[in-house]
C-alpha cells in the first residue's frame, strides 16, 4: 500500500511503494465507537472492523491535556466529522492521527496496525494517511497534473499518468492538467489538493477545515462536491470543522468535542435531535431551554403544554418536578396580537432573505428565538402570542443539570 508523507512544515506530500435526561438520543457506545455503522465500501467479512481507532489517547502541551482519554473508531468507507468550537482539541486529535503529534498515553491503530502507543511511534510517512490542509498547500511552480502526481513519483510513468487522469476526472478537472494552480478558483484548487491526497490510495484521509477559506456560496457547493468525491473514492475520512452546518450535512457520523474530550458521537440527525448534554444542545442550533413543570399528561410551560408523549423518558411519576425542554427556532410560532393577549414582545427582528429570525422576550423574562418565512407580518416591538408548532419529540434535561461548560 502506498504511503502518505507529511512533512514537518505541514505540507501533505506522498510517497508510494511500488438515556433519561438526554431526550431521544442514545450514544452508540459510551467510548465513541459504533459497531452498527454500515460502511459504504468493504467486504462483508470486514464490514464492522474499524479502519481507524483511538483508544484512551491523551496528548498534552506544556502539561495541559489538549485531548484527554480520547476514544473513537472510524469504519471502512465512513466519513466521520470531529466537530467543536475553537480550542476544543479537534485539530490536535487530527494531528495525533496523522503522526504530527505524539500522544502521551493511549493507542492509535490504522487498519489494525498500532502506529502510536507508549512504546511505538510510527512517523507520518509510515501511517498510510492523506491530509488536506486549510490552505491547500499546492506547489505554484508545478502544473495541476504535477501537483496531483507529486506523491506517486515512484510509480511507472504510465501508471502515474493514468492515476492522475483518473483523479482529475473524478474531481471534475479533466483537461486541466497543464494549467497552473494560480489560474484556478479556490474551489478548483481545493479539488486539486483533494486529488493529490487521494493519489496514493491512503487508508485514511484527514481533512482539516478545508472549506474555511472559501466564501459561503462556494463552501456550500464544495461540501456537496467533496462528499460526492469521497463516496466515489470509497476512502475512510476524518473531517474536522467548527461549522455545525458542514458537519451535519456531510457526515455519516459526527463526534462533538468540548475541552479536549468527546461529548457525543452519533448520526447527525440523532445527535441534533437528542443531545446528551446541554453543551451539545447549545452548540447545535440556538436552542431555548424552556422551563416546565411535569404534570399527569404534559409538561406545562409558559407558551403552552408539551405532552409527555413528546418527551421520551419522562413520566407522570415525576409530577411536580421541573425540567428544561430543548426548543429550537423552527419549533416556535409567533403571531402579532393585542397586548392584552400577548405572551411576549419582539425585541429583535433579523431579515435573512428567505427567513426572518425573531428574538422574543416572554413575560417571565425568558428569551427565545423563532424563525418564520420571509413574508411573516410581525414587526419589531410587536406584542406576540407564542406557541409550539412542532409535533416531534423534544430533548429535555433535569432542571438542576449543569449549564456551564462541558
What pLDDT band is residue 400 in, cutting at 50, 70 and 90? low
Domain ranges of the chain: 3-280, 287-398
Predicted confidence band at 285 (pLDDT cuts at 50, 70, 90)?
A: confident
d(CA 36, CA 381): 50
Please report which helix (H) or strand (E) contains residue 13, including its range. Answer: strand 12-15
Residue 44 pLDDT level (bands cut at 50, 70, 90): very low
* Percent of the chain at pLDDT exceeding 70: 86
Torsion 267-268-272-278 (CA) sign: positive
> Would you state the pLDDT for residue 218?
81
Taking only the tens place, the pLDDT of each residue in 45-84 is 344 679 999 999 999 988 889 999 999 999 999 999 999 9
Q: Identify whether the C-beta of residue 325 lies closer than 8 Å to the C-beta of residue 396.
A: yes
Architecture in CATH of 287-398? Beta Barrel (2.40)
Contact 367, 288 (CB under 8 A): yes
The mean of the pLDDT values for the chain is 86
Distance CA 209, CA 242 (A): 8
Residue 43, pLDDT above cutoff 80? no
For 3-280, CATH gives: 3.40.50.300
b/e code 331-356 from CB counts within 10 Å (16+ = b): bbbbbeeeeeebbbbbeebeeeeeeb
Least reliable range by pLDDT among 216-230, 290-304, 317-331: 216-230
287-398 has the same fold as 3-280: no
C-alpha cell at 66: 489538549
Give pLDDT, residue 33: 52
Amino acid at each position: 500500500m502506498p504511503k502518505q508523507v507529511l512533512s514537518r512544515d505541514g505540507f501533505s506530500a506522498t510517497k508510494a511503494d511500488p438515556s433519561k435526561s438526554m431526550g431521544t438520543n442514545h450514544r452508540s457506545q459510551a467510548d465513541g465507537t459504533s459497531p452498527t455503522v454500515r460502511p459504504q465500501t468493504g467486504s462483508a467479512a470486514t464490514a464492522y472492523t474499524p479502519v481507524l481507532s483511538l483508544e484512551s489517547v491523551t496528548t498534552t502541551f506544556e502539561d495541559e491535556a489538549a485531548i484527554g482519554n480520547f476514544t473513537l473508531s472510524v469504519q471502512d468507507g465512513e466519513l466521520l466529522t470531529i466537530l467543536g468550537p475553537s480550542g476544543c482539541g479537534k485539530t490536535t486529535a487530527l494531528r495525533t492521527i496523522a503522526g504530527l503529534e505524539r500522544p502521551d498515553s493511549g493507542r492509535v491503530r490504522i487498519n489494525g496496525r498500532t502506529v502510536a502507543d507508549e512504546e511505538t511511534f510510527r512517523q507520518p510517512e509510515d501511517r498510510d494517511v492523506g491530509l488536506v490542509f486549510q490552505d491547500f498547500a499546492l506547489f505554484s511552480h508545478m502544473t495541476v497534473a504535477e501537483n496531483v502526481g507529486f506523491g506517486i513519483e515512484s510509480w511507472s510513468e504510465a501508471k502515474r499518468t493514468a492515476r492522475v487522469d483518473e483523479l482529475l476526472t473524478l474531481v471534475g478537472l479533466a483537461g486541466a492538467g497543464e494549467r497552473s494552480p494560480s489560474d484556478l478558483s479556490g474551489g478548483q484548487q481545493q479539488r486539486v489538493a483533494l486529488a493529490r491526497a487521494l493519489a496514493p490510495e491512503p487508508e485514511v484521509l484527514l481533512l482539516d477545515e478545508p472549506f474555511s477559506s472559501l466564501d459561503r456560496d462556494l463552501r456550500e457547493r464544495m461540501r456537496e462536491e467533496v462528499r460526492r468525491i469521497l463516496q466515489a473514492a470509497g476512502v475512510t475520512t476524518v473531517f474536522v470543522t467548527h461549522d455545525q452546518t458542514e458537519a451535519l450535512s456531510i457526515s455519516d457520523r459526527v463526534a462533538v468535542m468540548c475541552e479536549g474530550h468527546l461529548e457525543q458521537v452519533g448520526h447527525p440527525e440523532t445527535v441534533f435531535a437528542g443531545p446528551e448534554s446541554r453543551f451539545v444542545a447549545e452548540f447545535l442550533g440556538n436552542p431555548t431551554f424552556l422551563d416546565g413543570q411535569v404534570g399527569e399528561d404534559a409538561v406545562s410551560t409558559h407558551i403552552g403544554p408539551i405532552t409527555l408523549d413528546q418527551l421520551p423518558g419522562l413520566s407522570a411519576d415525576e409530577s411536580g418536578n421541573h425540567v428544561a425542554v430543548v426548543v429550537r427556532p423552527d419549533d416556535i410560532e409567533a403571531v402579532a396580537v393585542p397586548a392584552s393577549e400577548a405572551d411576549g414582545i419582539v425585541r429583535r427582528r433579523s431579515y435573512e432573505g428567505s427567513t426572518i429570525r425573531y428574538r422574543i422576550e416572554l413575560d417571565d423574562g425568558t428569551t427565545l428565538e423563532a424563525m418564520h418565512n420571509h413574508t411573516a407580518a410581525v414587526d419589531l416591538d410587536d406584542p406576540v402570542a407564542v406557541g409550539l408548532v412542532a409535533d416531534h419529540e423534544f430533548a429535555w434535561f433535569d432542571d438542576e443539570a449543569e449549564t456551564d461548560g462541558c
